[in-house]
Amino acid sequence: MDWLGWLIFLFALMFSVMLHESGHFVAAKQFGMKVTRYFVGFGPTIWSTWRGETEYGIKALPLGGFVKIVGMTSMDEVDPEDEPRSFRRAPGWQRLIVLAAGSFMHFVLAAVLIFGLALAIGIENDNTTQLGTVATCVAPSEKALVNGAACTASDAPSPASIAGLRVGDQITSFNGVKVNTWTQVMNVIEKAKPGTTVALTVERDGRTVPLHATLASVKGRTGGYLGVAAATVFQRTSLAGAIGYVGTGFSEEISGSAHALAQLPSAVPNLFSKDRSQTAAGNVSSVVGAAEDTGQAVAANVGWEYKVSFVLLLVASLNIWVGILNLLPLLPMDGGHIAVVLWEMIRGRWARARHRANPGLVDYRKLVPVSFSIFMVLIFFSALLILADIVNPVNIG
C-alpha cells in the first residue's frame, strides 16, 4: 500500500501547485492583465492547447508549475500593444493581490481540509476512557514497556487480561471513583499500590460490567500496573468547533514552521546521523519524506479514520508551510516580489510628497545576483533534505 500513499501525496502536491498558480491566474485575469501561459510542470511540453490568449499545458517534469503574466518585471520585453495590460503597469495594490494570491490559495485549501476533517470525520481525541489496547503480559521493565517488547513465556499475564478487560471497553469507575478522561484513569492507577485488588466498572455493548483486577508492578515504574492503553477516537464537532479547530491548526502550524526554520541551521549537521529522529533534524523533511510518511500511514494496520486524518492534516500542514515560506521577503519567491512592489509604492509616495518625479520600477537587473544566490541556497537545502530522506529516513512509526 506504500505506492498508493505516494500516489495520493503526489496528486495532492500537484493539485496544490495548480491551485497556487490558479490564484495568480485568476487574480491577474480579474485585473485585466494579459496571461499568456498556464502550465503544470517544467521542461519539454507534453501537451498544450490555446484558449483565447492563454496557452494551457503540461510539462514533462512534474516539479511545480507556472503562470506567465506579461511584463512581470522591468527586465521583461513586452510588445507595445500589450504594455498597458502588463503586470508592471498595474496599480501597486493590484500587483500585491496577484502576488499574494498563490499563498492565499494554499491557506484556503488547508482551511477547507481541516474544517472538513473536523465536521466529517472528527477531531482526534486520545483522552477518553475507552480501551484501545489490552496487554497480554506484564513487561519485565519500564524500558521494555516503553519499547513495546513482545511477550515471552516467562512473563506473567497482565492484570487487565486476567480481569477480562477487552478492547473497546469504556472504564467508568475505578475503585468507586468515577473517571471521565484517560488522565484520571492513569492518575488513580498510579496512586494504587502493586498487589492491590481494585474494582472496575466498564461499559461494554451498552451494558455495565463490574470487574476486579489485582495490580502488578513493573521494574523501574512507580505505582500499580493494569496493562491498558486508551483508544484514540474521532469526535465530530459543531460548525463553531470546526472553525475553532481551523484556527488552532493554523496557529500550531505557524508556530511549528517558525520553530523549524529557527532549528534549520542546527538540524543540517544531524541529517545523516543515526539518531536523526531524536534531534532537530527529525523535524525537517523534504517532499520525499512527506511522501514516504503518507505511504507509511496508508499502509499502516489502523482504521481508515486514522489514515484519512493523517493524510488530510499532512496535506494541510504542507500547504500552510509552503504558503508561509512563499511569503518570505526573499527573491525569487512571491514574498520577494511583494517586497519590491512595496518598496516601489513607498518611494513613489515619498517622491510625490517631495514634489519630485516618481522613480518608477525597480531595476531588476541589480537584483538578479541576489535572486540567483537565494535560489541556489534553496536548491542546495532541498537537495540535501531529499538525500537525507532517501538514505536516512525518519520512520513515523
3-state helix, strand, coil in the chain (%, to 5): 50, 20, 30
Q: What is the pLDDT of residue 277?
A: 79
Q: What is the pLDDT of residue 396?
A: 63
pTM of the model: 0.82
User: Coil, strand or helix: which one is 274?
Assistant: coil
The crossing angle, in degrees rounded to 10, of helices 368-391 and 287-299 is 30
Catalytic residues: 21
Domains of the chain: 131-231 (2.30.42.10)
- Local confidence pLDDT in tens for the 397 residues of the chain: 578 888 899 899 999 999 999 999 999 999 999 999 999 988 999 999 999 999 999 999 887 889 999 999 989 999 999 999 999 999 999 999 999 999 999 999 999 999 999 999 999 888 889 998 899 999 888 888 877 788 888 889 999 999 999 999 999 999 889 999 999 999 998 888 999 999 999 999 999 999 999 999 998 888 899 999 988 888 899 999 999 999 999 998 888 888 877 877 888 888 888 888 778 788 788 888 888 888 888 888 778 888 899 999 999 999 999 999 999 999 989 999 999 999 999 999 999 999 999 999 999 999 999 999 998 998 898 899 899 999 888 776 5
Q: What is the pLDDT of residue 298?
A: 87
Q: What is the pLDDT of residue 1?
A: 52
Strand-by-strand arrangement of the 207-214 sheet:
177-178, 170-174, 197-204, 207-214
Summary count for the chain: helices (H), strands (E): 10, 10
Alpha-carbon span 281 to 265, nearest angstrom: 9
Q: Can you read off the three cell numbers belonging to residue 125? A: 481525541
In terms of DSSP H, where are the helices of the chain? 2-30, 92-120, 142-146, 159-163, 182-191, 239-267, 287-299, 304-326, 334-353, 368-391
